[in-house]
Amino acid sequence: MKRISSLQSQFQSAILTLGDEFDDKIVATERVGVKQRIGIYADAYRLRLIECLQDSYGALYTLLGDDEFDRLCRSYIDTHTPYHYSVRWYGDRLAEFLGATAPYREHPYLAELAEFEWKLMEAFDERDVSPVTVEDMATIPPDQWPHLTFGLHPSLRHLELAWNVAAMRSAADEDRDPPAPERSDQPVPWIIWRQQLRQFYRSLADDESWMLDQTQSGDNFAALCEGLCKWKGESEVAIHAAGLLKQWITDGLITRIGT
């Protein structure tokens, strides 16, 4: 075991750090030398991860173009070794890297776009749970409504975006040129989710965003209505909350009603 373990350690380190400690452990032939043989593995490692990042971050790739995206990937790869058995999870820290590393951190929409695209990936293969239907809701007696709580679909991601990164992603998905980066006056709440096999994203008004957070925290319908009074008059608040709930049900966002 010791011998295999030391050879594997040297081989891995030759791939990751391009050092030469493994060179004298392998056979050169007249046609292909030692450096070239190790180089095949070292190059393949980087190319495979770059390809994976291209797949996960399609809009970021379009925005930066081949050369700049390649440079970004290589500096990310130099500082982030994959650990997960599935290459699909490689790149989970790219947004953080973009936000913290020059020159990318001077363009904060890059980190935000990466965060948005990663959350889309998360929603893509999250757990399947059957959503509640409008008919299910209709069977609940009115006197139970104040006590109702709601479970949300596991694919739901709720985030705030200061830049027009969702438009950048839509453009990339539709093979259009990305719009110029544009910052809004205030960060805008967005949700990403999957309904059956399709992914969706849309922005939310502040009251809907608040209600979604509180729903996630387990507030019942009465508490949600009370909180919404910050935005709506007392007489219309229950109708407004019920309207938002109905929209969420239509969107497949509600998976459980607790009484």
Which residue ranges make up the site for another protein (CB under 8 A)? 1, 3-5, 7-9, 11-12, 15-16, 24-27, 29, 31-32, 34, 36-38, 40-41, 44-45, 48-49, 52, 81-88, 90, 124-128, 154-155, 194, 197
Q: Nearer Cβ to another protein, position 7 or 229? A: 7
Phi-psi region of 126 (alpha: psi -120 to 50; beta: other; left: phi over 0): beta
**Nearest-approach distance from CB 108 to another protein, in angstroms:** 30
In angstroms, give the least distance from the CB of 129 to another protein: 8
Given the DSSP bridges, would you call strands 157-163 and 254-258 parallel, antiparallel or unpaired?
unpaired
Dist CA 257 CA 259 (whole Å): 7
- Work out how close the CB of 202 gets to another protein at its nearest, in angstroms, rounded to a whole number: 19
Give the sign of the dihedral formed by CA 100, CA 106, CA 109, CA 113. Answer: negative
From the CB of 41, what's the least distance to another protein, in Å? 6
Closer by beta carbon to another protein, 157 or else 194:
194
11 or 231: CB nearest another protein: 11
Taking CA 183 as the corner, what is the angle to CA 181 and CA 185, rounded to the nearest 5 degrees? 165
Q: Whose Cβ is closer to another protein: residue 86's or residue 235's?
A: 86
Q: What is the separation, in whole angstroms, between the first and last Cα of the chain? A: 59
Token pair 């050092």 is found at 19
